[in-house]
């Protein structure tokens, strides 16, 4: 388990330990888009409506670095035909944009560069000899790994709208 690559299922496990409203039907919807032209999916809801919980749920479901079957048994997704098809079958990259903004060196100006640098550094450590040292563009790094290793990635971006919310008047950041 890494910070960005394959975060595991601990976040979802913690959520299940509290009061949980089953939203795993969302997974079946996403499963229907995997490897299709509709594979880019955005879930937008007002603040405080469980988007981060959904992101952690998706990480737990897709992340191949863990076994999440027991977490989903008895939930809506476990009754769907697509349940076994993608359960823990992908490398997952999880990005929390708010976290990157708070860490950004120049009040968010370099946040996209910071994200790419941090994730590529982690990919280099996990996929030795797959990402060239000069690589700075995340999509190219993922493509290189996919070509050399055959790995498919699910990218989950939480708080994707934070750049717009936090830097509302900064066109350069947006």
Residues β-bridged to residue 90: 63
pLDDT digits (tens, 9 = 90+) for 53-103: 999 999 999 999 999 999 999 999 999 999 999 999 999 999 998 888 887
- Chain-centre distance for alpha carbon 92: 6
Given pLDDT bands bounded at 50, 70 and 90, which one contains residue 143? very high
Return the beta strands (E) in the chain as ranges: 91-96, 153-158
Which residue has tokens 């992340």?
63
pLDDT at 26 over 80: yes
| Average pLDDT along the chain | 90
Length of the chain: 174
Task: Enumerate the β-bridge partners of residue 93.
Answer: 5, 155
- pLDDT at residue 8 is higher than 90: yes
Mean pLDDT throughout 24-39? 93
Q: What are the residues facing 91 on neighbouring strands?
A: 153
- Phi/psi at 151 (5° precision): -75, 140
Beta bridge mates, 154: 92
User: At CA 125, angle to CA 119 and CA 126, rounded to 5?
Assistant: 85
This prediction's pTM: 0.89
Positive/negative CA dihedral, 52, 92, 82, 71: negative
Kindly indicate the confidence band of residue 113, based on its pLDDT and cuts at 50, 70 and 90.
Answer: confident
Q: Mention every residue, 6+ apart, whose C-beta is less than 8 A from residue 42.
A: 160
Give the C-alpha separation, 85 to 3, whole Å: 26
């Amino acid at each position: 388990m890494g910070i960005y690559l394959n975060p595991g299922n601990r976040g979802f496990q913690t959520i299940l330990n509290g009061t949980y409203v089953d939203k795993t039907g969302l997974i079946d919807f996403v499963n229907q888009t995997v490897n299709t032209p509709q594979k880019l999916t955005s879930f937008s809801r007002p603040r405080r409506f469980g988007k981060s919980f959904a992101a952690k749920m998706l990480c737990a479901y897709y992340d191949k670095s863990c076994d999440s079957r027991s977490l989903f048994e008895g939930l809506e997704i476990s009754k769907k035909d697509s349940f076994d098809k993608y359960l823990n079958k992908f490398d997952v990259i999880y990005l929390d944009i708010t976290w990157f903004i708070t860490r950004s060196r120049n009040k968010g100006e370099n946040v996209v560069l910071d994200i790419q640098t941090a994730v590529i550094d982690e990919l280099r450590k996990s996929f030795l000899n797959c990402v060239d040292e000069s690589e700075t563009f995340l999509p190219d790094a993922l493509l290189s790994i996919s070509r050399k290793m055959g790995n498919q990635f699910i990218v989950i971006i939480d708080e994707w709208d934070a750049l717009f919310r936090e830097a509302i008047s900064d066109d350069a950041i947006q």
